[in-house]
Amino acid sequence: MTAESRRIRLDDRGLEVEALPGETLLEALEREGLRMRRSCRNGVCEICEISLLQGQLQQRYPQRLLDGDPCKPSLALACTSVPLTDISVKIKGLKLPGEVAVKKLNCDIASVEVLNRDVYRVRLHLPATASQAMTFHAGQYLDICLPNGRKASFSIASAPDQGRDVELHIRLMPDSEMSRAVLDYLQQNERVDIEAPKGGCWLDARSVTPGSRLVFAAASTGFSQIKSMVEHLLANQVMNPIRIYWGARNAQDLYHLALPEQWAREHANVHFVPVVSEPELCPDWIGRFGTLPQAILEDLDHFEDTHIYASGSPAMVYALLDACEAHGMQESQLHSDVFAYAPRPAKQ
């Protein structure tokens, strides 16, 4: 930080941003990848309003000098305000890098089709209007909202690069009244409410480090989350090594096997390994047997510059984490939504 620059403390976020000499508050925020509501930069629209809690700002238009007061904050326009001192501000609706807004949307149910004996592919058509547009990252999920208020979460199987349709893979589980209720509703109605996007385990092709190796581990319908990530990488021509492991008890549960096989044929950097854990269920299977952790450790002799994205049950994800940590991987190298919704006690 230079002597002429100023600190901008985002009071409700616990973060600090540096404003360069002469730089407006809005310019400083956007340079750091943060986003706020704005329309123009001449102070007329008054959308980019912030609350000044401490410090001093010079607002260029409308021209005035503003002093912060925690008890009675001053309102200023970020697009025309330059910090004169270190400041503390509060900004409603501020988004951190990569953060997107969760919306409740009413979508057309474009199709519901059977992929295998118990997995259905559902396509939803998102609203076209700008106010209802949805932005999501590869790997995030959505909630299906039923009229009785119940919700069910499903990974978005399509990549964000693929337009207004989103794809879901929904397994009909005999012992789950909720899965039946969701599929019944989707098959019998023309529209459905969703809340999206959700989930902190996602991937942005622009953040992939050159030379790093990406490993994807999916169990059962966890393949849907992995599908979104891989298709996003391929759409953006990411050439890093991509290894995909898809595990199931029975080979019949690998319900979309032809797709990852096609990725591997068409892209030299993609390697696909299907794994079946119960040989007695599929005597005709000629592929790998075992568990996902076993298959990955058989193939990888090191974890340097490797990131693993895992989608499946908490038991699978934590078994994979423990197995890889025992062979030198750091916990931070494995990414999964399981860590958020099913955390386990910290190791002693």
Q: Which residues contact 237 (CB under 8 A, 6 or more apart)?
A: none
Alpha-carbon gap, residue 306 to 209, rounded angstroms: 10
Q: What is the pTM of this model?
A: 0.77
Domains (range + CATH), the chain = 6-90 (3.10.20.30), 103-198 (2.40.30.10), 205-341 (3.40.50.80)
Give the pair of three-digit tokens for residue 255.
């319900």
How many residues are there in the chain? 348
Alpha-carbon gap, residue 336 to 8, rounded angstroms: 33
User: Which amino acid belongs to residue 190?
Assistant: E
Per-residue pLDDT of the chain (348 residues; tens, 9 = 90+): 566 899 999 987 778 999 999 999 999 998 888 888 876 656 667 789 999 999 999 999 889 999 999 889 999 999 999 999 999 999 987 877 777 778 999 999 999 999 999 999 999 999 877 566 788 999 999 999 999 999 999 999 999 998 889 999 999 998 899 999 999 999 999 999 999 999 989 999 988 999 999 999 999 999 999 999 999 999 999 999 999 999 999 999 999 999 999 999 999 999 999 999 999 999 999 999 999 999 999 999 999 999 999 999 999 999 999 999 999 999 999 999 999 889 886 655
Give the pair of three-digit tokens for residue 97.
């890098």
Helix ranges (DSSP H) in 35-125: none
φ/ψ of 247, rounded to 5, equals: -115, 150
Instruction: Go through 119-153 and write b for each residue having 16 or more CB atoms within 10 A of its CB, e for each that does not.
Output: bbbbbbebeeeeeeebebbbbbbbbbbbeeeeebe
